[in-house]
Structure formats: structure tokens, C-alpha cells
Structure 1
Amino acid sequence: MKVTQQLARTQELDGWVGYNDGGQKTWLDMNCREGSLLTDGDETSHVRTKHAEAQDGFGFDVADLLDGGEGEEDDGDEAFIALKQAAAFRKNTNLKGTTLKKGGGFQSMGLNGNLLRAITKKGFKVPTPIQRKTIPLILQRKDLLAMARTGSGKTAAFLIPMVQTLKAHSANMGARALILSPSRELAIQTLSVTKDFTRGTDLKTMLCVGGDSLNEQFANMSANPDIIIATPGRFLHLLVEMNLNVTGLSKMQYVVFDEADRLFEMGFAAQLEEILHSLPPTRQTLLFSATLPSSVTEFVRAGCQDPILIRLDADTKISPDLEAAVFSVKGAEKLGTLLHILHDVIKIPTGLPEGVTDLSENPSKKRKRGGADSSHEKQKTSPYATIVFTSTKHDVEFLQTMLTHAGFAVSYVYGSLDQTARKTQVENFRRGRSNILVVTDVAARGIDIPLLSNTINYSFPATPKLYVHRVGRVARAGMRGWAYSLVKDTDVPYLLDLQLFLSQKLILGKEGKGAPNYTTDMVVGAPVRSKVENYTEWLNKLLSDESDLAALQRVSEKAEKLYLKTRNSASSQSARRSREVVSSKGFFQVHPLYVASSHKRPSSRSAVPPRVGRTKRRKS
């Protein structure tokens, strides 16, 4: 868009200049050099003086934000950003000397040629809304609180301007950028993306997470890294052990709190504050989050200077490409329903995937000379890639063992699992060596698998935000995917809380007229009971034959009871409504998902899943 041609008229009002850009209003205070960017519900963007806002120290109304105030539209700031960048970008050229495009792509952001090549190689063509809004502001050295749903491209949004600013390795001692992550998996994933963007430069990166060798991390820190990617606990440990006080971190230019809401939910607030006290006040502070708990606002007030809010989470909490189905189950049928979904709904083949001979092999052991790093190996689209979320590590151990007996290729991850084993399990799943990944909520964030097709909530999440983070693993990068949830009568209050949070219509069984919309409606119904009974019968026989598996189940059931006693309570309004929902006819009616294919007879496969090998269906 050529801004100079689109600005139809200009008028001056009390020191403000207004531009009418094709119906979109953008106001710029010509008397201030720095300000806070706000967006109203009428798509009007404002730049206001630092202290024009109220007493809370923010450039936005925190109380309104916590009450669910309106977020900004994707294109509300486009004219302002283009206006501020137009002069700087006009003379930028690419490697061939031709003028860079000004059409809103990465080329129009003034990025250097090496970084543009890395972005192209990564497969990014057009910036996502969060990237389009935040990258220019980060390049202007603004403190940000950016909120967007999981899978919207937040990692690239802070890494691209960081690499652009740091440019090359500094000979002066002291790291210049710190990225804090709530989990080891997310930190490892961020490291992988950072290496992609820093290719062609001599920037040094370092991973600092629990479970890795402290001596090795001491050596890496002494090697003068430019970018440190860390979990708060281990970084603070390193800070104390190496006596890195304010002087040792005096070169720090950036500090990024990735998934800031999760950092506070996991109890890192005290550690984060201590880390902040060790960083220079001139740093740039960036918080990226999917949601905004009140504890984050307290931290922003203490750690940021005139933060700018970029909020894209209000209108779209989950991906519009995600389809969801809720299955009502009775306690004794829950495991049988899980097997039914895997076998008959998703139709995951048993046995190892094609080309895989042994799941225990080290996936990174063999590399072709001159070939790409195995961690960046291109993934194949698989309709079978499925994550199963459960509440405790004992559930993970039991389900992984049971599903392996059922013949599936399964990986698993939970918090106390050895770090080396965690890396191996996640890598097996990422590379398609297994079709199913069973996890606790430690993996609700941080496992970036763009081609993931399905997620199953075996244990229904206790909060709507946790549901959003779980299903955020699916339907990313423009792909479609499914989320299946198993709900017992005791889970219905939490289901109703989620329905209100997502503002979706609740459809029970055959209530709806016509085919329901699985992307916008919350559709509840029972699985096909005959199928579930067959799998339940097979499972009971397996448990009677396998004493070790039966022992794992008993431990899992005890852990589940303890979890249910400690999980948060649902709202009282949802608890009252849940009685009506459970007693309604539609709650246990066959799910509408089966109606569309009711004219097709299911294939006559055995009720007992084969233990090994892949089953081949005959063509009729």
C-alpha cells in the first residue's frame, strides 16, 4: 500500500494530525516523541504522550483488560506503521540492488538481506498479524505486552527484530539478549527457531535449562554468548553460582518473557523479579502471552517502562480452522472410548510408521554429510499425529503402556521424566517415528509441531485457558485439525465454563437442525456404544493377563482421585446448569459426528486390536 497516495486528506486539530485512509482513522500526536499505541473498538489507533494515561502507570486500562475488554483489530495500526516506516524503508534494497517491496511483507520492514533469506528458508511469506504489529515497534525499542493465541507466530515476532538489532557477535563480554521460557520443551523449541534465524551470522546462542550439565552451562556462559534461552530456575541458579551481578549482565539489551502467563501460573514470579533486579534498567522488556492473568499486570507495572499493548486474543481464542467434538462417557467406558477414537474415528494404523524399524533408535545418530540438521528435517503431513492430554504422570505411564499393548507407536512426556528421555520422546514424535504422544500439561505449550492433526483431552482441563493452550497445538499455520474431549458427568461444570468462555452454542445429541458447525458450536454426544463395549471387553482381558499393567492402572486411579480433590472448582452457575445437561436426553444420544457417515457400514475389523504390525484394509 502506498501511503502517500492513499492519504485522502489531512487536517490539524489542537496539535493532532488526522489522516483519513480509506475509512480508517489514524491519529498521531506531533508534539510527542515517544508514546503508547492504543486501539479502540472503532478501529481507531492513537499515539498518546507517556503520562497522558491514568494513575496505574500503563498505557492502557488494566481493569478493562481483565474484564475482557475489546481487543484490537488486525489492520487497525497498518496505516500508522506504514507511515512511520515509509521514509526509512524507501531506500532499502535487496541483494540484487532492486527496491524492496512496500506491500506489508517482511521486505518492507527494513530487515537485512541475510535475515530475509533465513525467513524465506523458514517458509514464512507474509507476516502474521502479531508479527506485523510488533516487529516495527520492537525495532523502535519499545517495551511491549503482546497477546495473541497459541500458534499465531509470537516466537518469530520477537526473534526477527532481535536478530536484526544484534547483527553479529560482540567481542565485549556479556550476553545481550535473554529469553525466559516456562518449560524445557519450549526453550528447546525456541533455540531451534533462533538457530534458523541466525544462520549466516556469527551470533552465539546458549540453552540454559534444568536437567542439563551445570559444568557445561558454566563453560557455555564463559564463552560469551549473545543470546541466552533459559528457564527461570536454572538461569537464577547460574546467576548465583557464577556471581553474575548487575555488572556481569550490564550489556543486556533485551529480556523476553515467552508465554508470560504460563510463567506466573507455574509460580516463577519471585524468581522473575530477582532476575529483573540483576538486569540493567536500560533493557527492552517484551512480554508475549496467550492470556492475561492479573499477576502478569503486577509484573508489567514493575518491569516495563510505558509498555505498549498489542492484543489480538479477544476475538479469536482458538484457531478458526479447529474442529472440536465432545464425547459424553461413563467412568468404566473412558478407556474403551479412547481406543475407539484412535482406532475408528482418527483411524490410526497399528504398528510402526513406514520406514521405522525400531522406536528405541537414536533419531539423531545418523546424519548425511552436507545434509540438513536432523532437527530441521522437513516433516511429512500425517493425518494420524495425535497428542493425548492427561492429568498426572501416572496416567501417562499407564496409557503409554496400554496403547503400546494395543499395537500403537507411542511416545510420552511428563515433568519428572529424565531430560535426555524427554528429548528423545519428543523428537520421535516430531519426526513421525510415533503417531501418538501422551503427555501431561507440561507439553500444552512449547511443542511446536505444525503438522499435528489431532488432540484428545483424556482428562478434561480444569480451566478454559488450559483448554485453549492444549488445542493450540492443532490447526496451526493454516492447517485444519480436530480436538476430541472425553467428559464424565463430574466434568460437565467445567465444560459449561469453557462454553461460556468461547461463546459457543451448546448442542446436545440431535438437538441441532441440520449438520452442526464443529468450528463454532460445542457439540456433545455419546460414542457408538457397541464399539466402546468391544474395546472395553478387550481391555479387561488384557488387564487380567498383564499384572504389571493392572498395577499401573491402580496407581493411576489413585493419582486421579488426588488430582480431582485439588483441581479448581467450576463456577457455581455452571454447576447448577450441569444437572440439567446431564439429565437431558441429548447428553447420552449418539454424537452427530456419526450421522454423516451412518449410511456407511463400518469395516469388519476385529474388536481386539492387533499387537504388532500394520493392518491393511482390503478394497471392497
Structure 2
Amino acid sequence: MPVAQASAFAALGLSAPLVRAVQQEGYEKPTPIQTQAIPDALQGRDLLGCAQTGTGKTAAFVLPMLQRLAATPRTGGIRALVLTPTRELAAQICERVSAYGQHLGLRHAVIYGGVGQRAQEIALSRNPDLLVATPGRLLDLMQQGFIRLDRVSILVLDEADRMLDMGFIHDVRRIIATVPKARQTLLFSATMPREIGALADSILIDPVRVSVSPQRTAADTVEQSVFYVEKEGKRALLEKLLRGQGVERTLVFTRTKHGANRVSEQLVRAGIDSAAIHGNKSQSARERALERFRAGSLPVLVATDLAARGIDVEGVSHVINYDLPNVPESYVHRIGRTGRAGASGSAISFCNTEERPLLAGIEKLLRRRIPVAEGEVPRGEPAVMQAPAPRQAAPGNYARPAAPSGARPARRFQPRRSRSR
């Protein structure tokens, strides 16, 4: 890293060991969320961050947390706690803690469900300074007497809205009740539903508020499009797109675990290497699939929303919504897996007749229409459906020019090769 770039991190107030670690990780410059959050977090301020994955928010809380821990004496107990909704995200945060803290000599551990707890008990017996945990396993180990949180001075809630979606909010409140009130609290969420706002109001004291992008806007670097295609035509269309030029590493979303398995099996039978990840898969199977996907040896990963929320993989060229999500905000989270950190990417959605209300909800959230991609469905399969006529926009609502009656937009789908980062 050039000196000027290294000093950009030092200018945020980071110590020399952390700047050196960031340099060794190949960081070029702080992201907007890091620039906004790190100085105040270093001062011990509470913080409320509205940021999606892929914005650099993990470093925005891990770096100042490590510096503050290194600057204070050990107490013989857990001094910092990071709560996160999924085991994949917990593992990724722990890996970042290892990378950023490599010159500090701090101890850390990660605990999550879906695996045996014996190794986690051993890790806890070593008195880690910092603990990354999912709520369910943390409560289990607390109730068994393996964990005390009475010396925690820094609490981080990451992906708070997803913890709400997954039904963890009551567990989170139970955990917070055991942490000292005299602490620093940092809460990050991609969206701010009413329940998360209420939680923030109840646990944050005079927080600094940071936001790096419009809460309801999809990444500008993602080219979005939608195919109107009936359910029985989706499989053939998916195979056709995956064989297209420029489709390198693709994340396919389904609505259900069974659907993820079915789509992955169909692709394998068609000669397209793929794997499915969801809550019913073992932790080892999920980790193997993620590692292959991350390494580039697995071109297609089929996932449900809950399984994919913690996926942070560089170089995803395409996201394909095989099924549209029931919750519009999930669409933004899904397509945020591509077009990260300024790279280009494509997000393609399939919409059948029953899913049109779901698409309308997504477009309302985005405040614009998703362009229709016109392409050929393989011979012998149901034809792509006619796109519905554009609605008359109400004052202040999104709109696009109406197409001539009976015609589709002239644009044809052309997969785009993503730029390397």
C-alpha cells in the first residue's frame, strides 16, 4: 500500500499495528462507512449505522474495537461481544478479527450453532478478550455456565434487521440485559424497521448516526433486469443464462430450502456444477460449498435468503432471483451480493404470474421499474410471458415511458462480464 493510502487509515486515528495489518490485507483506502464510523467509535461513542453488506462495515466496527481493547488492561473475562445472525457471518467476522488483530496479541473466539460445542467450550476456557456469537448458541452456553458477560465494555449488534427477521430479537434483548449498562454499543442494520428503531432507542446513548447509501436504493453498479416467465419455464431459462458469455460466478436465490435443493440437482443433471446451502445443510457441507464458491471451483451457488445473508464473496458476476422474495427488502440484500466495492454486476429476476404482486412491491421500494430483459426461451419450453403494460404513475411515484401496445422493450439480455476488483 502506498504511504499516502496507509496514512489515510492512520488519519482516522488507527494505531500503527492496525494500519500495518490493513496494509497487509491490501486495503487501498477507507470506505465511506469506515471514514464516518471509525473516528467516533475510537472515542467510545455509541453508534447507529445504516449500511448494507459489501460497504466495509465489518472493518468499521472491528478496527476501533480492537484498538480500544488493546489500549486497556485485560480483566480476565470477555470484554467485547459481537452478535450476528448467522454462523457464516460469525465465521467471517472472526476471520477479519484475526486478520486485523494479527499484531495486537488479543484473544478471540467464535461460537455458533449447528456444530458440536466441545471445541467452543475449550476456546472459551482460554479467556478470550473478544467473542463473536450467534444469539441461540450464546444463550445455550450462558445457561450452561460457560459464559459470563459482566465484564463486556463493547457490544456490537451486526445485521440487526436480519436478527429480527430470523426471530432472534427476544434472545438479543435477553443477552443485552446481562451486559453492563456502562458500555459502548454499536448497532448496524441494512434497513431500519420500527422494531429495530425501538431497540436502538432503548440501548444506545446519544449515538452517532452514519449512513453510507440510501436505505432503499439498490447498488448503482448492479444492472437489473426481469424476465416474465412462467414457473415451468424457469429451469430451462436458468440453464440458458448460466451458459451465457460473461457469466462467471453466480448466486441463485430460491424461496425455500426444498427449492434450493431441487434447482441445484437439476443444474447438476444438466452438466452445470452447483451446490445448495440452507438451514438444513450441515455446517461442514455449507462451509465446503462456500469455500469452493469463493475459490472459483464452484460456478453456481443456490441459496435461500437466511443462508445467504452472511455470504461475502468477491467476484460474484451475477445474482439470479429464481424465485422473487416475499419481503421487498430481501431483494436489495440479494442483489447486493454482486456489484460490490465499485465492481459491475448483473441481477436477473424471474417473475411468473403469481409473483407479479411481489415484483410490484420491490419496484415500489426501489421507486422505479426494473427493466424487462427480452431473451429466447429454449425450444420446447413455455414462452416468456408478455410483460404487463406499465401502470399510470401517481404524482410523485416512479414511472417509465409506456411501450407501444403489444410490444416489449427492444433491449435484449446480454450478460455482462464483471470487472475484477
**Above 0.5 in TM-score?**
yes
- After TM superposition, give the deviation of residue 145 of structure 1 in Å: 0.8
Letter in 2 for 1:293: P
Are the equivalent residues in 2 in contact too, given 1:169–1:204 (CA < 8 A)?
no
Q: Distance in 2 between matches of 1:481 and 1:388?
A: 14
Corresponding residue to 2:105 among 189, 198, 202: 202
Matched with 2:308 is 444
Q: Which residue of 1 aligns with 2:411?
A: 592
Tell me the SS of whatever aligns to 1:533.
Answer: coil
Letter of the 1:451 partner, please give it.
G
Task: Name the CA distance, whole Å, in 2 between partners of 1:445 and 1:591.
Answer: 35
Residues of 2 paired with 1:194 and 1:326: CA distance? 39
Q: Is the 8 A contact 1:206 1:225 kept in 2?
A: yes
Highest CA radius of gyration, 1 or 2? 1
1:24-63 superposed matches below 5 A: none
| Superposition deviation, residue 150 in structure 1 | 2.9
| 1:325/1:176 CA distance change after superposition, 3 Å | same
Q: Which of these residues, 288, 303, 318, is aligned with residue 203 of structure 2?
A: 303
Aligned mates of 2:382, 2:307 — CA distance in 1: 28
Q: CA deviation at 1:330?
A: 1.9
Question: 1:132–1:110: structure 2 CA closer, same or farther, 3 Å change rule?
Answer: same
Structure 2 contact 319–348 (Cα < 8 Å) conserved: yes
Question: Matches of residues 425-464 of structure 1 in structure 2 within 5 Å?
Answer: 425-464=289-328
CA shift in 2, pair 1:278/1:189, >3 Å: same
Report the CA distance shift for 1:408/1:136 in structure 2 as closer, same or farther (over 3 A): same
How far apart are the structure 2 equivalents of 1:434 and 1:239?
38
Residues 591/190 of structure 1: CA separation in 2 closer, same or farther (3 Å cut)? farther
* Corresponding residue for residue 523 of structure 1: 371
Distance apart, 1:237 and its partner CA: 0.8
Question: Are the counterparts in 2 of residues 149 and 318 from structure 1 also a CA contact under 8 Å?
Answer: no
Paired-residue identity, %: 35
**Of residues 167, 173, 184 in structure 2, which corresponds to 1:273?**
173
**1:137-286 counterparts in 2 under 5 A?**
137-167=40-70, 171-242=74-145, 244=147, 248-286=148-186
Q: How far off its partner does 1:593 sit?
A: 2.3
Q: 1 CA distance for matches of 2:123 and 2:35? A: 34
- Which residue of 2 is the match for residue 320 of structure 1? 220
CA distance in 2, matches of 1:436, 1:219: 36
- 1:344-383 superposed matches below 5 A: 344=244, 346=245, 383=247
Does the C-alpha gap of structure 1 residues 154 and 432 become closer, same or farther in structure 2, counting only changes over 3 Å? Answer: same
Contact 1:527 1:591 in 2 (8 A): no
Contact conserved, 2:33 with 2:55, CA < 8 A, in 1? yes
What is the one-letter code of the residue matched to 2:100?
Answer: F
C-alpha separation in 2, matches of 1:457 and 1:595 = 17
Aligned to 1:81: none
Deviation of 1:594 after TM superposition, in Å, equals 4.4
After superposition, residues 496-507 of structure 1 pair within 5 angstroms as 496-504=360-368, 506=369
Cα distance in 2 for residues equivalent to 1:395 and 1:595: 26
Q: Is the 8 A contact 2:260 2:276 kept in 1?
A: yes
The count of corresponding residues between Structure 1 and Structure 2 is 398
Give CA-to-partner distance per residue, 1:91-145, whole Å, 9 cap, x none. xxxxxxxxx9699821212222111111112221211111111101101111111
**Residues 584, 493 of structure 1: alpha-carbon distance in 2 compared, 3 angstrom cutoff:** farther
What is the aligned counterpart of 1:291 among 184, 187, 191? 191
User: Aligned pair in 2 of structure 1 residues 534, 305: CA closer, same or farther (>3 Å)?
Assistant: same
Measured against aligned partners, the alpha-carbon deviations of 1:149-177 in whole angstroms (never above 9, x if no partner) come to: 33111111001111111127965321111
- 2:27 pairs with 1:124: yes
Query: Structure 2 CA distance, aligned partners of 1:171 and 1:304?
Result: 25
Write the letter of the residue equivalent to 2:110: L
Per-residue deviation, residues 357-400 of structure 1 (Å, max 9, x unmatched): xxxxxxxxxxxxxxxxxxxxxxxxxx510000001111111111
- Inter-CA distance 112–308: structure 2 relative to 1 (3 Å threshold): closer
Cα deviation for residue 251 of structure 1 reads 2.0
TM-score (norm 2): 0.88
C-alpha distance 396-311 of structure 1, shift in aligned 2 (>3 A): same
Of 311-320 and 294-303, deviating more is 311-320
Q: Which fold has the larger relative contact order, with Cα–Cα distance below 8 Å and residues 6 or more apart in sequence? A: 2
Identify which range, 324-333 or 272-281, moves more after superposition.
Answer: 324-333
- Contact 1:146-1:289 within 8 A present in 2 as well: yes
Q: Which amino acid is 1:333 matched to? A: G
In the TM superposition, what is the alpha-carbon distance from 1:205 to its structure 2 partner?
A: 1.4
Quickly say closer, same or farther: Cα 1:322–1:176, change in 2 above 3 A: same
Distance 1:169 1:424, change over 3 A: farther
Matched residue of 1:412: which SS?
A: strand
Q: What CA deviation, in whole Å up to 9, does each residue of 1:250-295 have, x standing for no partner?
A: 3211111111111111111110111011101111111011110111
Query: 8 Å contact 1:333–1:536 — kept in the other structure?
Result: yes
Alignment match, 2:237: 337
Q: 1:583 to 1:222 in 2, by over 3 A?
A: farther
3-state secondary structure, aligned to 2:48 = strand
Distance 1:583 1:421, change over 3 A: farther
TM-score for the superposition, normalised by structure 1: 0.61
Residues 464 and 313 (structure 1), Cα distance of their counterparts in 2 relative to 1, 3 Å cut: farther
- What is the identity, as a one-letter code, of the residue corresponding to 2:340? R
Q: Please, which runs of 5 or more residues in structure 1 have no aligned partner?
A: 1-99, 348-382, 507-521, 538-572, 598-620
Do the aligned residues in 2 keep the contact of 1:389 with 1:458 (CA within 8 Å)? yes
Instruction: Tell me the equivalent position of 1:533.
Output: 379
Distance in 2 between residues matched to 1:294 and 1:191, nearest whole Å: 29
Q: Take 1:424 and 1:495, find their aligned partners in 2: how far apart are those partners?
A: 33
| Letter of the 2:333 counterpart | H
The CA distance in 1 between the partners of 2:158 and 2:187, in whole Å, is 6
1:421 matched to 2:285? The reply is yes
